[in-house]
Chain A
């Protein structure tokens, strides 16, 4: 057994899970508040990565930035820009594609969501490219901290340890995602606006009667969810140095699954589901069964839903009157 490899893989899973989680939060928040499966959300994430590409090429950034202050400033600019732009895009999508249909049968906004998804993909295909596009990676991709775990033996059972590399890009993505998740929890749990969001989710009419501005609250939910997806888009570009118009579908599907697995409507559940899926994927690969990873992920999803129809941390259905 090699403890180094397992640690390395766990860290890989944390990184991938962090990106899934940032996207899954948007799915779960929107579902929590208006019970809409926002199929366009994965594409908001995808557009976020292209917004980053646009920003970098406009600023003339070609590749790695080695000067630490400049690098930090650039990262702040990248995230602030992509998150703001995507947040606003989310608000616009809600205003024009979902709000007019808020009281329509459930199927109608679901179809407009799929429509918005295709529109976003088409816009990117036409304005950028329909094939993979390279994005400059401002953080040196190969740079990282190396850790040597101790090697030991229990009887005849040898535990070896190859060196583990913690790439700076991966560390940054994990820390950033955790920070954003904590900030979201504090915002929803501790602030007036967060309380408005929670009350709207529980009972929209009652919240309205108590003076909550429903439209603003829902728009705010879309803003936050889409901004997090925008952050995931930047993280994607930093990590892979490439993007494509259809990553929103692939990755969005996994994040949506994570949200359902964790219990849709529950933000902690979305994060938990994301890390769980990432671990299953990564350890399928470690065992040499990448080609089975999707089957395993969805088998787990089915088993969980059979026993807990509302997901791992899902709220009881009675809670929403």
Chain B
């Protein structure tokens, strides 16, 4: 049995080496970037533009000697991002030996399920959108890495501690509200965002008149919660969560209860396309529901050469770039630069990307990663609903480096 198995193994090795040597002479080596994003249902408007950003980067930045392809996995098979599915997907990507790096995931609770898998396999992940601080910082991050000192997860999005601050900044300074009511969806992302909003809003001088959470079985009916909130006359309602966990319905039911005039805000979880996009926040909230709705995105909108990027995206796909398209593009650029530098060995790519002294020239600007894998950019973009285009309109972005608020631009 054993010699036979050995013989087969050596045969396989021979064929494999023959293949690789022949491909080296006849054409570029096929390597893959794994994609792990929500690509179905309510979350398609999140995942799809991000994926297209990656594809655009690969098309625009060929690496000599390599044919870069994708291995695409969807973690929202049932219409909502699912950590279990994410963990299964990342396991499959680990098993595909041609995958040298992964772009994704999109959601923080999915990342929690994936990081232990990718970290122990040494397969680098770059998330375009994860914003939960615990994924990279503190004891929770050490637990996710199972005590390993190796970093195999980086992100180009900044974190919720900054995005929550930005939300409070919008409520207090842009909308001019002195009191706020907070609702979160009790998930990792939503609760984290809502808690930071609460602390910051208070420190700015505002009053929190209530903070409640609606779990998975309570995300259809907010009538009772809103009746209680309405009695407290909040100047602003902030939602920590995503459209699929009730963000749109909450706004819709505010309108039903005559609370349409109260400004509403949320994080990037409600940034999922215009009112015409099926199942997006603006679509679910309805035609009037979005009057004075705000949201923040943990990404840069005023990117260097923004016009070129947007034009290239539109030329290729015929639609506007999404809030995280450029972030997906940047993740892919980082991998392509690593591939050109150190080749397609997983460990070499991981080590190169996570070395803090290496910097990457991306569509978002120059990025370096700190010892935790967090980006050097701490920029949040502010958006407001535009009733004429029925879509989100960017109006300013702020740089939150070391807690200092600096205005980068204010032209809407």
Contacts and interface: CB of A to CB of B under 8 A. Distances in A.
Contact of A9 (B227, B279, B283): B227
B278 A131 contact: yes
B249 A250 contact: no
Interface residues of A, number: 43
Contacts of A129: 41, 79, 278-279
Contacts, number: 110
Interface in A116-159: 125, 129-134, 141-142
B284 A9 contact: no
Contacts of A125: 78-79
Given A129-B279, A251-B220, A253-B217, A288 B252 contact: no
B255 A142 contact: yes
A240 B221 contact: yes
B337 to A, nearest CB: 36
Interface in B202-255: 210-218, 220-221, 223-225, 227-228, 231, 244, 248-249, 252-253, 255
Nearest to B214: A290
A13 interface: yes
Given A9-B224, A13-B224, A130 B79 contact: yes
Contact of B283 (A16, A134, A247): A134
B212 A285 contact: yes
A268 interface: no
B20 interface: no
A213 interface: no
- Interface band, chain B: 35 or more
A131 B244 contact: yes
Interface centre among B212, B216, B249 (most CB of A within 10 A): B212
A287 to B, nearest CB: 8
Interface string A288-313: 11110110000000000000000000
A251 B220 CA distance: 9
B138 interface: no
B93 to A, nearest CB: 23
Interface of A: 2, 5, 8-9, 12-13, 15-16, 125, 129-134, 141-142, 162, 165, 167, 240-242, 244-247, 250-251, 253-254, 281-283, 285-291, 293-294
Given A250-B220, A289-B212, 15 more contacts: A15-B223, A16-B221, A130-B42, A130-B78, A131-B79, A131-B244, A134-B284, A142-B258, A240-B220, A244-B220, A281-B224, A286-B227, A286-B228, A290-B212, A290-B218
Closest 7 CB pairs of A and B: A130-B79, A131-B42, A291-B213, A285-B224, A131-B41, A131-B279, A282-B224
